[in-house]
Structure 1
Amino acid sequence: MIPSGLMISAPASGTGKTTLMLGLLAAFRAQGIAVQPFKSGPDYIDPAFHTAASGRASFNIDTWSMESARIEGLVGNADGADLILAEGSMGLFDGVAIKGASGNGASADIAAHMGWPVVLVLDVSGAAQSVAATALGFKMMRPDVTLAGVVLNRVASPRHEALVRVGMEQAGVAVLGVLPRRSEMELPERHLGLVQAGEQENLDQILADAAAFVTEHVDLDAVRAAARGARDHVTEPMKIIPPGQRIALAQDNAFAFVYPHLLAGWRAAGAEVIPFSPLKNEAPDSNADSCWLPGGYPELHAGKLAAATTFRDGLRAFAETRHVHGECGGYMALGAGLVDKEGVRHEMAGLLGLETSFAKRKFHLGYRRATLNAAIPGADAGAQLRGHEFHYATILEEPDTPLAQITDSNGLTVPETGTYRRMDGGGQVSGTFFHLIAEGA
């Protein structure tokens, strides 16, 4: 049985969604309630925090990149849980202009499709009764999206709370919680978002504090009672064609950006995933069929990667006879060199001619659709894939053969095609700034 659920969302980024989400997950877990977390939209960092807080693997669900059947299959991972909580991305109704696989990527699409009411987090600093107009607008924006209530964040005083509550009562909007201003609850960030869960030395304490904070200031019983959308059947998670039967997967703080649903889909298809750590100077397993280097933060560890000769030599030997693929940070690590933000160039694996720089940063963000010019592990030439791009790297040189034809969510051509190179021993090395989410036109 798939339990009922809620979408935790907000009018915009930076309002406190993640703080509330983690606090709810940890608080319910402390009560013995099994909560299945999800993340709406392309995000690698939040799901790791969800997993730490809930004790259950969190999965991304996204209507621009995924067909409805895939979304429902991923929701099937909630079988056996008592409650579903999904964290939205950006604002509730924020998405792209042109519809994708099953929607425009807005969290509201997921809420409507699954029947999950929305808990709206409102930053009420600098306003009082007027905040109710925002809540009322969100309540009325889409008839197929239900507003369960609001959690007021950054409330300055009891008087401030009373004034906001008056407005909410007039608008007919339930107040499910009131979070006072508390700067120490903010999670540390860097250029691609929150500092990764695996890098938080005091993560257990952060989660315990979030649980205590939310338990004190949110009506947990009312939140749980507001959940809807329970299903009387279980949809099996969809298998995904794996990059090989045995996949060597780079996994550490430099290469952590791989979607949980991909790993689960590969394993569901019978593949074995064999992690290794380039930062620990480990080479990919020589018995693997393919090697996959996910995105991450190679720019923060460029010196260490440049000195990891066992990793580099092992990767080069592996690539001579088998396929190696890198996404974003993994692509940069496969290149010839990486210039850090101080302007220092570090030698990378040299399997591709790519040169990248963070000394001249340029922000790249958005959904991407790719048509492959050549095969990559798990997808043939001509395959159409959906994903996204999110990085600050500047390409200085990209001399190898273009890997794909890539367009954005509006169908406009994107110049970052990725590249590939065939090796003398029959292997192939490929890479792209495109992060795979799902196959499909």
Structure 2
Amino acid sequence: MAAGLVISAPASGVGKTTLTLALARAWRNRGLNVQCFKSGPDYIDPAFHAAATGRASVNVDSWAMDRATIAHLVSRGLDADIVLAEGSMGLFDGVAARGVSGTGATADIAEMLGWPVVLVIDPSGQAQTAAAIAAGLRDYRAGVRLAGVVLNRVASPRHEDLVRRALKDVGITVFGALPRHAEISLPKRHLGLVQAEEQAEIGKLIDEAARFVSEHVDLDAVMRSAPAWSPQAASNGVSVTPPGQRIALARDAAFSFVYPHMLEAWHAAGAEIATFSPLADEAPDANADVCWLPGGYPELHAGTIAANARFRSGLRAFAETRPVHGECGGYMVLGNALTDADGISHEMMGLLGLETSFAKRRMHLGYRLAALAAPMPGHQAGARLRGHEFHYSTILAQPDTPLAVVHDATGAVIAETGSRRGHATGTFFHLIAEDR
């Protein structure tokens, strides 16, 4: 029977991902089967999890998913020896208004599954105050249990001793303390971590992180803190209808932001997925009945996309008779023009009138609830879709008929309505689930 733990922290940027990957690889190196999950709407970390464990990782999200869906997704960990759920942001950070089964906070998943939390604490610039923070997190919400802490970026042995003593005084276990070690830091990019498939050295980075953490963290004590896990009854699957029977899916460095559970749900419903690479100037499969362009980093490849004639002509021909849908970056590529960070405008597909710019960056971030005003692939008019938006582009023009009325997590109407024209549709949000 699997044992489960949640890896969380007081805030973002403390080292949750690095510790999760290191623990997963260290235990895998011991011959254990390790299953990872990601709490919240992050489509990058699951690829890193898979690189560390050799097993596919998926997102679980209390704002967008009901308990039965989450139970179904985590049931894949039943044959593992240890299950690790990596949190997002701080342990209790979510949105103000409750969603389907929670606010999107990591604490929701910890309480729902009964998994205790391993807290990553960065005590830089403090000592005993780190214990006050850990104790506050431990006591903040009944039902969320703290297994212990791992200290990260400790300045010196004296610094470690001060923090350890303070944590002992409040009854909190310290599993280990990591001195500053820049070599194991994962590289950053303008939109978060770089994608795992882009990192030729990702295996070496994870191995080094595992070695380093194994030297400084009591892995056996961490394992003993993880209780045996008996899952709740799982539903039959994720509530997502595939957009077609045979789906032409853009998949390369410019188009890679797809939630793994979405692809699995499409497969489970009997759909076939035929991938193609716009960056390699490939056209969508002519035998597909729908084309899906996910998000990614098209702004970094806008010149190549604009110049690839086979992709452009093939996609336009496809859209004459069959649906084409774009999410976020894919939506931008379906538009008229994309201006990159250098202020250079690149002609896009022209299937929609959308024009976007990265010359003046503005972050758009948050959960989205969309009521479709018209059909889109896989969903009828009137459907309520839950998703998440994260991009830095500015809308210069969005002239087409709106696809949906879109609200943020507070219920406020937002301007990123999506668009529809002919067989083409697009949204700025990435779909997570459909309201049942």
TM-score (norm 2): 0.98
Q: Does 2:369 align with 1:365?
A: no
Q: Distance in 2 between matches of 1:315 and 1:115?
A: 47
Deviations 1:38-91 (A, max 9, x none): 000000111110110111111000100111111111001113111110000000
Residue of structure 2 in register with 1:382 after alignment: 382
| One-letter amino acid matched to 2:383 | A
1:419 aligns with 2:414: no
**Matched residue of 2:79: which SS?**
coil
Amino acid in structure 1 at the alignment position of 2:391: H
User: Counterparts in 2 of 1:124-135, with a 5 A limit?
Assistant: 124-135=123-134
Letter in 2 for 1:190: R
Contact 1:15 1:153 in 2 (8 A): yes
1:431 aligns with 2:426: yes
The 5 Å alignment of 1:259-298 reads 259-298=259-298
Q: Is the 8 A contact 1:291 1:323 kept in 2?
A: yes
1:51 aligned to 2:28? no
Residue identity in the other structure for 2:250: A
On the 8 A contact 2:71/2:232 being kept in 1, the answer is no
Distance 1:110 1:94 in 2: 12
Instruction: Say which SS state the counterpart of residue 113 (structure 1) adopts.
Output: helix
Aligned counterpart, 2:202: 203
Change over 3 Å in CA distance of 1:122–1:316 after alignment to 2? same
- TM-score w.r.t. length of structure 1: 0.97
Equivalent pairs counted in the alignment come to 435
Residue in 2 that maps onto 1:313: 313
> Per-residue CA shift, 1:91-144, capped at 9, x if unaligned?
000011110000001000000000010000000111112211111111111110
Residue 93 of structure 2: SS of its match in structure 1? coil
* 2:362 matches 1:347: no
Q: d(CA) in 1 for partners of 2:88 and 2:190?
A: 17
Whole-Å separation in 1 of the counterparts to 2:288 and 2:75? 30
Shift of 1:237: 5.5
Secondary structure of the 1:257 match is: coil
State the distance in 2 between where 1:6 and 1:373 align. Answer: 41
Deviation at 1:403, TM superposition (A): 0.4
Measure the CA separation in 2 of the matches of 1:237 and 1:85: 23
Q: Is the 8 A contact 1:76 1:236 kept in 2?
A: no
Q: Which amino acid aligns with 1:90?
A: M
Give distance in 2, aligned partners of 1:347 and 1:206: 38
Contact 1:77–1:237 (8 Å) recurs in 2: no
Q: Is the 8 A contact 1:243 1:378 kept in 2?
A: yes
Specify the alignment match of 1:213 in structure 2. Answer: 212
Structure 2 runs not aligned, ≥5 long? none
Report deviation, 1:232.
6.2
Q: Does 1:186 align with 2:185?
A: yes
Runs of 4+ in 1 over 4 A off after TM superposition: none
The percent of aligned pairs where both chains have the same amino acid is 63
Q: Which position in structure 2 is the counterpart of 1:41? A: 40
Which residue in the other structure is 1:64 paired with?
63
Q: Which residue does the alignment assign to 1:238?
A: 237
Contact 2:68 2:235 survives alignment (8 Å) = no
1:80-95 pair list within 5 angstroms: 80-95=79-94
* Of 138-147 and 238-247, the range deviating more from structure 2: 238-247
Asked if 1:114 corresponds to 2:113, the answer is yes
Alignment deviations for residues 313-354 of structure 1 (CA, whole Å, 9 cap, x no partner) = 111111111111000000001111100011101111111111
Paired with 1:53 and 1:99, the residues of 2 have a C-alpha distance of 33
What secondary structure, in the 3-state scheme, does the structure 2 residue paired with 1:139 have? helix
In structure 2, distance between residues paired with 1:253 and 1:409: 30
Amino acid at match of 1:188: P
2:12 paired residue number: 13
Partner of 1:409: 409
Give the distance between the partners of 1:270 and 1:183, measured in 2 at CA: 45
**Contact persistence 2:293–2:331 (CA under 8 A):** yes
How big is the shift at 1:278?
0.6
* Residue 184 (structure 1) shift: 2.0
Q: Deviations over 1:372-410 (max 9, x none)?
A: 011111111110010111000011111111000000001
1:163 equivalent in structure 2 = 162
Instruction: Choose 431-440 or 186-195, whichever is displaced more.
Output: 186-195
Distance 2:395 2:127 in 1: 47
Say if 1:41 and 1:60, in contact at 8 Å, map to a contact too: yes
CA distance in 1, matches of 2:20, 2:358: 32
- Residue number in structure 2 paired with 1:425: none
Q: Is the 8 A contact 1:242 1:271 kept in 2?
A: yes
Measured in 2, the distance between the counterparts of 1:78 and 1:184 equals 31
Q: In 2, distance between residues paired with 1:96 and 1:236?
A: 26
Alignment partners' CA distance in 1, 2:358 and 2:429: 18
Q: 2:140 is matched by which residue type in structure 1?
A: M
What is the alpha-carbon distance in structure 1 between the residues aligned to residue 41 and residue 269 of structure 2?
23
List alignment gaps of at least 5 residues for structure 1: 423-427
CA distance in 1 between partners of 2:383 and 2:338 (Å): 30
Contact 2:69–2:234 under 8 Å retained in 1:
no
CA distance, structure 1, for counterparts of residue 234 and residue 68 of structure 2? 9
Q: Are 1:336 and 1:352, in contact at CA under 8 Å, matched by a contact in 2?
A: yes
Whole-Å separation in 1 of the counterparts to 2:370 and 2:317: 29
